[in-house]
A and B are shown apart, each in its own frame.
Chain A
């Protein structure tokens, strides 16, 4: 089954390049999304015995990442059906666009499923290269700037991660393998000083991909300039795959008994991310950049949760699910706003609720989900993280954490409320008369489903999902 998930997109890519028809290409993306979703569910819950092929496998750690990726990709594909109809470009470019989406999702799936650090590295780099075209899709001056920064910073970051892998190879002594299982098995005998050096390089390398400060600079530019479905994929799926690699490397540190060192660095990077997000969100002028900074904030929370350990692992998994769903919904809705108002400036948007009720309320609901309003899933995860901090007697950290989150909440809330309510000026109203029919039904449904999931999971997590989450948290 893993074979099919990994081979189907390659076949689909060839078909997409051969048949340059807009409807066909969009449906190819949709078919892969559906197939990905069904197969992921079967891989995680099915009784299928074939859970591994050479270099790729489904295990306790990555099954939840796989499920989140599938769900987000399915939702983005549904949205994409409506979105592609409005793009005014030749079919040839839509075919390239679909091709790159397929390659992008393929490399993310590969990163998540791979059981070998080397293969993960190769595929993380592949995600950079495939999504670069997607960020540049609009072909404006700004998008080329964003794409250039993205490729350059992430390539250098990933090159640094490779230095880390070489150093890990040095520290591992006689173990000549990068297979995670073998690394875990022998980690206790690794050379500690080289392992620590390797961890720094890998954390900065994959952290650049994940969007942790201080190596986050590509993220706001790339997220704000990419087409909205791509922003959603970048934020809700790509960052998670890089996080998975960090989790796996962190486990090596744990077994090699360098935990306190690794935790300290993760904690510093996590709080730095929160701080950067706070500073920039407070004066934000562009609402898509605001969402990007919110992603940095949430990645920071994941890093802090990982650094805390214990109950926080469970919170990290919950936070990952909640953030992916809520942020994907937020980015997709921002795509609607962009279609309606034709501007990314906060200043030019107001009266969203009266202009288009559905988009307006989705915008507000996404905000409530991301700012951890009960019963959002993020409420539980953040609550658990704060609880762990207090239980571990990190009172000052806890206060700083809560304060930074509160300022971010205020920053986002101010912008969201300003955009959602307020007066709708006459020329804007005229503009919206023309643009409103661009937003089809497909561009509301996915956000609605994801938000329902976030808010329902906050109250009740079905036993089958809870089992997967517990296993993942246990395997961290």
Chain B
């Protein structure tokens, strides 16, 4: 035994004597994880969060979240002598005087965008593959919580520097708060410590941005990962993979190296972006003042859909019993997002209600094999995309020399028309893909080889696909829609008939499938 082994052994023994960790460690170092590129999306979100913590901590050493008025005398000549808040001045100092400061600011901002983007794409992966099904409904809700908080955290973050662009964002957030019926005015005065903009808001959101929300994030991410660990990861269908096993590689050494390495790759790519790609050049905007605005004011992309909805809202502001109800703000700013996020959080339960399926699922769906769900997902994405495009309607109008009014009308109509259209098209596409799978299993792969028959007819030679591929294309379950009794055995109609009729219609729509080929079909073809 070498000296090094002896020392390591002694340390391990010392720790195990006091914690009994060896048994647990042995088991978990051998933990098996399935391999697929799409499982790295959540990893990117996790690593971006760590990068955000590291780069954010660096920034707090120099950032001064104070609205104290100072006259700038720093290195950036165009703003010398300009009155501004200490917050903005310190953001300029970080950018121009602290070595590595601008790099860290840009890494922080880029990783925030990557964090949000990877959360959204990860969520899409989980949704379209049905990974949210039992037993993972709770983790789905945690994920929706993280997405929602991420949007808030990102908004607060880019609001801190108190430049003209971010101040405009706060102005809009203030208007949304103030539009809340009954308590809005009081709430706005409470949060802002008086009138807009005041001097209290930025120091307050600083506390929220660097302490409260990161703390909540840490707690939620920990639970999210512990559940993944404990429930074991889902896996894609394939030969040898069942609901009862996990096929993959063990944590030690494969995933230690791969996941650890991947952290450095994500960090490296983010640092590269921070080095070469300018983001939020806040020295160009100047300090915030409520009397000015930059043309083409845009929020970061994950807020863009919200801004797009606000832009397309109709000018509705009824006065009811002498009180003003700002529907033009409330509908796009609070009601629609509220419906979207609640609907997302509840989706696993809605689908369970429709299918009546209470079993555990660990094998992922191929999106085409769940046409209704896939179509719903694409429908929601289309809605978001129209909203997001309208959030940049001024930039689109400028770039493509279009009329902003026409883009707005396109969005106003499109937001109602395009999502249902997307639903129909996607569902048809999924069913067509199922049909193509069926053809492939029954008739084999087209080889591109043409043969002339004695009769003079040309036919293409088909080759049977491998047993592995045939299994992949047919392993999924195809269940008949949930049977619901409309009347009990004495012929009396059940209560809640409308609800059960609705459920039945959903169940039928959800179960629409192209029948998958069976051995019987294969044999029948062989007989011909």
A and B from one complex: no
Using a CB–CB distance below 8 Å, which chain A residues touch chain B?
none
What is the interface of chain B, defined by CB distance below 8 A to chain A? none
